Amino acid sequence: MNIDCIGDVHGCYEELVLLLKKLGYQKSNTSFAHPHGRKLAFVGDLTDRGPHSLKVIKLVYSLVKDDQAYYVPGNHCDKLYRFFLGRNVQQKHGLETTVAELNNVSKEEYSQIRKMFLFLVEKSPLYHVLDSGNLVIAHAGIQAKDIGQTNKRVKTFVLYGDITGETNPDGTPVRRDWSKSYNGRAVVVYGHTPVKEPRFLNHTVNIDTGCVFGGKLTALRYPEMTTVQVPSSMPYVEEKFRSFT
């Protein structure tokens, strides 16, 4: 099973198309396909902050519908999902940019995009277990003992990471480095925490290289375990990147 895993896109549509082309995907109707039958896997956070969230939703919807891609939701996807369901969610931390795009399309297009996004979230698992259990795609990661489980605690972990409930001085949630103690045999590919370069540790790979913060959009080729990247067109925001010691 050959899969190209894609990090957090956050509305960076142009970078995504460039990355798909660089990976060898070719345009077919509304989506893309690989001549050697490779598949894509998105680690979630398709929207918010970047310039073209709606185009990213449409493209990933087409890819998933055509069985060219796997998708798992991220915390931003979960919030947009609840927005589309009419729940009272705060339009901040990037959601406001996606809502602004939605306010600029016709009623017909709005309901079309809403349907596409509900399909994506409702038809996808919280995390994907692929290649006979050798590969797991989870937005913020998952602990080995939780693979196969889907309770509320696992959902929070998969969407938000190993949070303590405390906040850093800058207001961001404190996140523990779960990958440091990951002891599973399956390779866990995840995103959520922007890093300057893909981070390989204990059979885990963080491929969120902060495209929306001016970093790069990264793909991890599985099982080759090599990366392919395109630079971001967004302004660089140094403080958004996490460094590990």
Query: Which pair of structure tokens corresponds to residue 145?
Result: 């003992």
210: left (phi over 0), alpha (psi -120 to 50) or beta: left
Report in angstroms how near the CB of residue 212 gets to Mn ion at its nearest.
Answer: 8
- Of 12-51, binders to Mn ion (CB under 5 A) are 45
Find out whether the peptide bond into 173 is cis, omega within 30 degrees of 0.
Answer: no
Q: How far is the CB of 202 from Mn ion (least distance, A)?
A: 22
Question: Which residue, 45 or 101, is less far from Mn ion as judged by CB?
Answer: 45
Q: Which amino acid is at 1?
A: M
Q: Smallest distance from the beta carbon of 240 to Mn ion, in angstroms?
A: 10
Q: Which span sits near Mn ion by CB under 5 A: 5-13, 103-111, 140-148, 179-187?
A: 5-13
Number of amino acids touching Mn ion (CB under 5 A): 2
Q: Which is nearer to Mn ion, 70 or 194 (CB)?
A: 194
Stretch that binds Mn ion, among 8-16, 103-111, 114-122, 219-227 (CB under 5 A): 8-16
Structure tokens at 122: 């409702």
Closer CB to Mn ion, residue 33 or residue 79?
A: 79
Which residue, 17 or 73, has its beta carbon nearer to Mn ion? 73
Instruction: State yes or no: residue 78 binds Mn ion (CB under 5 A).
Output: no
The piece of 7-15, 114-122, 153-161, 223-231 that touches Mn ion (CB under 5 A) is 7-15
Q: Interaction with Mn ion in 159-218: which residues (CB under 5 A)?
A: none
Q: Which is nearer to Mn ion, 32 or 213 (CB)?
A: 213
> Which residue number is nearest to Mn ion in terms of Cβ?
45
Decide whether 11 or 128 has the Cβ nearer to Mn ion.
11
Smallest gap from Cβ 208 to Mn ion, in A, equals: 6
Which of 4, 8, 146, 162 lies at the binding interface for Mn ion (CB under 5 A)?
Answer: 8
Binding site for Mn ion (CB under 5 A): 8, 45
